[in-house]
Structure 1
Amino acid sequence: MTALGILYPGHSAEDDYPRMEQLLGSDIRLPLVHTDIGEDAHRVDALLEMGSAARLAAGIEELRLSGAEAVVWACTSGSFVYGWEGAHDQVRALARTAGLPASSTSFAFAHAARELRVRRVAVAATYPDDVAGLFAGFLTDAGLEVVSVSGAGIVTAAEAGTWGEAEVLALAREGDHPDAEAVLIPGTALHTVSHIPALEQALGKPVLTANQVSVWEALRLADRRVNAPDLGALFTKEPIVQV
């Protein structure tokens, strides 16, 4: 049994995680601990506070008691808002506090794109435009070419959590670009896990979503590979041999 610790901000789309446990169909557990988000706002100052070391550290002991082998801060905006170097500092502090390998959803997107050998990506975000632009900047620093960025202007995670398949599909289509090799949908507050096959079929390319890549990243940290076609191209791709 492999336990992968998830630090999740607030309560919006956390039910994506037990669904992923079922879809992984193996000996994977995803113990999830909620962090206190403070003010629910996709605004830079609120996001910096949401991802602060003190807020993340508060949930670490519970994850350690769960037997977690790795921990992922399952929040895109609360990690990329710190910038490339600041996001590295954030996960280093998390790893020191937890005594475990650690990462965040923002890095998960970058690593997942590399796994799929894609370089040109489109961003389809629920965020306001300025916050979506910060995510695009983070991806650029990760070595990806962001060919388009769209933001839906949603300010709160609570509102994003109410969206269903029709809204998510519309978001993905709006954010897609002919030159993009994959579409990235940030925001762990958005329910996406049930919709990934439909999204990829509709767009004809890999679609990476926040909760999906967070779990993939936790598996990567624990050196586990699981084939799960219902979780999209990311979970069916053969491992890339590093040379």
Structure 2
Amino acid sequence: MKFKKIVQGDIAFCDHTPNQIEPNWFNAEFWREKSAITGSSKGRYTTWFVDAGVIDTEQSQWVLRHYYRGGFIAKFSRDLYLFSSLHKTRAVAELSLLDQLYKQGFAVPKPIAANIERSGLFYRADLIIERVAGAEDLVARLSKMSMTESQWQALGETIAEFHNYGVYHADLNAKNILISNDKFHLIDFDRGEIRKVNPQWQQANMSRLLRSFKKELAILPSLNFSEANWQQLHQAYIAKLQN
């Protein structure tokens, strides 16, 4: 992990990130002026997809995400977080975790850089990762077609691989799992961490995932998800899990 001082903050970036990285790369307007915005994903707020080839021909599609608060506290502070240290900021912590997992060969997006902008005792943050080519989230996929038994089993095995390494995902839900061909990637590791392997948090992760499937099924009754699918996933997960 490398760092670059900027006005009122820092940029953290990985070994493979272009060294000439600039603060304006974290601003959607910069990419819009270059006609390099290729799409977006709208959740609580907008995540931008950009063509990084306009600034470096060796780069491909990137994902630009600003950190926003959720829940009750968002009514008072939309995107400000209390600063204690650079490494404890949400963006640098997530970038560092992704960098570790990516180097270990886990199915996560390639991390690019994080931006920390100081404002007194507080900070705002942004993250850039590489977009997983040809991927869509599970809700989008299951709204259009079903998955095979072997695909559900592969998903269960993928999650078990993360858990065997001690990877805790703070928000494991169906929209934070991408599928590209038959390969699954986990995304959005905000507040994630490496923990001592423990069945309690592992089961909590899986319960959260099941609740998310049921929630999406309630929203879209035609979603291609059933109890049988969950059993296919869960049985493969248990078989792969190391106790």
Q: Do the two structures share a fold, i.e. TM-score over 0.5? A: no
Structure exhibiting the larger radius of gyration computed from Cα positions: 2
Q: TM-score range by the shorter chain?
A: under 0.3
- TM-score after normalising by structure 2: 0.27
Tell me which protein shows more helix as a share of its residues. 1
**TM-score normalised according to structure 1 size:** 0.27
Task: Tell me which of the two structures has the higher relative contact order, counting C-alpha pairs closer than 8 angstroms and 6 or more residues apart.
Answer: 1
